[in-house]
Structure 1
Amino acid sequence: MPDYTAEDVLRKCDELNVRFVHLQFSDILGVTKNVAIPVDQVEKALDGQLLFDGSSIHGFVRIEESDMLLKADPATFAVFPWKANDKGGSTARLICDVLNPDGTPFDGCPRTCLKRVLAEASEMGYTMYAGPEAEFFLFHLDEDGRPTTRTHDQGSYFDLSPVDLGEAARRDMVLALEEMGFEVEASHHEVAPGQHEIDFMYADALKTADNIATFRLVVRTIAMRHNFHATFMPKP
């Protein structure tokens, strides 16, 4: 992904006809949350001036301390491929740090915690890189669109179609990831029935953490479009 500046983001929003931007952040359990804003509010988000209610997020603050701020990181700007030019406009996302009302970093923000540890490592002369091996399972949905306990196939390691029934979904996941700036190295069926793996290029720890959050969103979204439910549980 390019290292966009705030000015780059504003220009790209105009060039790509972005109408809405999802401001994403994580709770202390690693669950991705978001606030969707019209594009004319993006500059405020980039300046760290966008308020949200933190009292409803696990591990954040109490109701009487609910006002918190989101500060968008311009380097994380990307357009959702499945929402490009949707109804006359595109939808983008920015990953955010959570701030206290006075603009100081919020200690409970996982991204801020990682930044703090990386800064400590840097002072010791270290730079941390991470390369995940991202795996997931695909399950069938029932007639009401709810996940079942039936895996979508009975394939095994490195199987291919017609045994690997997730090939088309996995292909669309890879294409979406590439459109969002990922360098995908490989994808294949894993050992267990319904289990898949998509490998992408390693990066510094902060970028990899952002990439994992993006990866999970992309996989779940594309799986749903193929009438599957994706889970990242190790042994569901």
Structure 2
Amino acid sequence: MSDPEVSKMIARIKADNVQFIRLQFNDILGIPKNVAIPVVQVEKALTGGIWIDGSSIEGFARIDESDMILKPDRDTYQILPWRPSDKRVARFICDVYTYGNKPFEGDPRYVLRRNLEEAARMGYTFNCGPELEFFVFKRDENGRATTEFVDHGGYFDLAPSDAAEDLRREIIIALTEMGFEIEASHHEVADSQHEIDFKYGDALSVADKVITFKFAVKTLALMKGLHATFMAKPIAGICGTGMHTHGSLSKDGENIFFDPSTEDQTSEIMHYYIGGLMKHAKALARLGNPTINSYKRLVPGFEAPVYITWSTANRSVLIRVPSARGNSTRAELRSPDPMCNPYLLFAGMIAAGLDGIRNKILPPPPTDVNIYELSEEEKKRRGIEMLPGSLIEANDELLKDKVICDALGPHIVDNLTKIAVAENDEFRQAVHPWEVERYINNF
């Protein structure tokens, strides 16, 4: 960044009466971390970066190579609107560099940048639009999160004023002040479940928005004495929480998934992209469904996809092509949940889609029937496969998938594996109340 650009940024910060700056970055799980600095240190941060110890960050560095630099991306400057106006706090999202001033291979933002650059070499821009669902629960008298509902609305319900409705309104106002273009918000299927949708964009800025969205929702809920969670399946027996992610490719500013000359107005490149997603769907599950709890959502009966299929209308499939055409032509991947790290998910989607295009991988015929009503014989005849049923199975699929492993790099893959194995081992040792209730009297 040149000196005039730094001076301009500093002048803007002063004009905004900002007192503190949060330098934000993300660990391998997609959980935001930050270093707070007083505004007098901002010039130092913008010119040379700020040193941190990466050895304590999940999936970052060993203790003998822990010195890292946070370099703010000035395009991500935002005032946090819920902070007091007389003590304003702003944030930058940072890229992480190593001691040798090289991009850190374990920085999820860098991983996404690399894959976007690969798409650019092929002449493509990858745009995406995720739909984030979340639950809002009450807290107990000690401030701990519960799973007690705040409201009992249903899908698209117009509820009377209550805590959840007020919270959703305040979230939308805050996000709008932070530069989000909110397209819609509504109550979801389950009690206390909500969705707020924002406009699609280039994958890097949208991944930044996903992290900001989750941070804002959880913060504003806490300020109201409530708890917002993006956990995939917080309560058994009801719908889980998804992050359906719409994706498209553009070239020279034009959506290349749209082709008015074909019967369904979708291009051959779009079909190759879908073929790539389907080929790598099992490995992508490790990125889009990153926890043991994620696989409690991916079960039949609750609208979440289980089978690797696609269609132009069917909502029981993994990949759906919505009816909108023109610049809105897109493919919706319905398996991810909002516990995922969006940088890694989007990087994997790009790699899978580009592989489909390079190798002209056509998907099988669309599945236009309810898959859950098909017999096992019929599913086998159609060649319909299932997504992984567990985190450790998904990680095994990732390790077998060279395209997705190359897209992530060995540092990310190794650490994702360590996390999956550790979480699986800990879960195997835990005794669930279901087990006690089922076995303690009979055995």
- Aligned residue in 1 for 2:17: 17
Write the letter of the residue equivalent to 1:141: R
Contact 2:153 2:159 (8 Å CA) reproduced: no
Distance 1:147 1:95 in 2: 28
* Matches for 1:163-174 after TM superposition, within 5 Å: 165-174=163-172
Q: Hey, what's the Cα distance between the residues in 2 that align with 1:182 and 1:7?
A: 26
- Taking a change above 3 Å as real, the CA distance of residues 98 and 50 of structure 1, as seen in their structure-2 partners, is same
Larger-gyration structure (1/2): 2
Looking at structure 2, the residues matched to 161 and 48 of structure 1 have their Cα atoms a distance apart, in angstroms, of 51
Aligned-partner Cα distance in 2 for 1:78–1:205:
19
1:56 aligns with 2:56: yes
Structure 1 residues 49 and 213, CA, compared in 2 at 3 Å: closer, same or farther? same
Match for 1:224 among 197, 222, 225? 222
Helix, strand or coil at the partner of 2:194: strand
| Whole-angstrom CA distance in 2 between matches of 1:56 and 1:217 | 21
SS for the counterpart of 2:125 is: coil
TM-aligned CA deviation for residue 173 of structure 1: 0.1
**1:75 maps to which residue?**
75
Higher mean displacement: 190-199 or 164-173: 164-173
Letter in 2 for 1:81: P
Matches of 1:153 and 1:168, distance apart in 2: 11
Are 2:117 and 1:103 aligned?
Answer: no
User: What is the aligned partner in structure 1 of residue 110 from structure 2?
Assistant: 112
The runs of 5 or more residues in structure 2 that have no matched partner are 235-443
Aligned-pair identity in percent equals 55
Matches within 5 A, 1:1-236: 6-85=6-85, 88-162=86-160, 165-236=163-234
Q: Are 2:132 and 2:195, in contact at CA under 8 Å, matched by a contact in 1?
A: yes
Q: TM-score, with normalisation over the residues of structure 2?
A: 0.51
Q: More deviation in 62-71 or 26-35? A: 62-71
Q: Which moved more, 1:107-116 or 1:10-19?
A: 10-19
Q: Distance in 2 between matches of 1:98 and 1:90?
A: 25
Deviation of 1:103 (Å): 1.1
* Distance (Å, rounded) in 1 between the aligned partners of 2:47 and 2:116: 23
C-alpha distance in structure 1 between counterparts of 2:191 and 2:48, whole Å: 45
Which has more strand, going by share of residues?
1
Amino acid at match of 1:66: S
Q: CA deviation at 1:35?
A: 0.5
Q: CA deviation at 1:165?
A: 4.7
Q: Which amino acid aligns with 1:9?
A: M
Q: Structure 1 stretch 34-43 or stretch 115-124: which is displaced more?
A: 34-43
> 2 CA distance for matches of 1:7 and 1:114?
29
- Distance verdict in 2 for CA 1:163–1:81, change over 3 Å: closer
* Off by >3 Å, runs of 4+ in structure 1: 5-8
Once superposed, what is the RMSD of the aligned Cα atoms? 1.4
Post-superposition CA distance 1:145-201 (Å, at most 9, x none): 110121212211011222865110000000000111111111111111110000101
Q: Secondary structure at the match of 1:96?
A: strand
- Alpha-carbon offset, residue 49 of structure 1: 2.5
Residues 122, 92 of structure 1: CA spacing in aligned structure 2 closer, same or farther, 3 A cutoff? same
Distance (Å, rounded) in 1 between the aligned partners of 2:146 and 2:48:
41
Q: Which one scores higher on RCO, CA 8 angstroms, separation ≥ 6?
A: 1
- For 2:163 and 2:40, the matched residues in 1 are separated by 43
Q: TM-score, normalised by structure 1?
A: 0.94
Cα displacement string for residues 63-83 of structure 1 (whole angstroms, at most 9, x for unaligned residues):
222211000000000000111
Q: CA deviation at 1:233?
A: 1.5
The letter for the 2-side match of 1:156 is G
- SS of the residue aligned with 1:73? strand
Per-residue deviation, 1:11: 1.6
**Cα distance in 1 between the residues matched to 2:20 and 2:233:** 36
Structure 1: 5+ residue stretches without partners = none
Distance in 2 of aligned mates of 1:23 and 1:36 = 6
Q: Flag the structure with higher helix content.
A: 2
Contact persistence 2:49–2:72 (CA under 8 A): no
Which deviates more from structure 2 when the two are superposed, residues 54-63 or residues 42-51?
42-51
Counterpart residue identity of residue 43, structure 1:
E
CA positional deviation for 1:53: 0.8
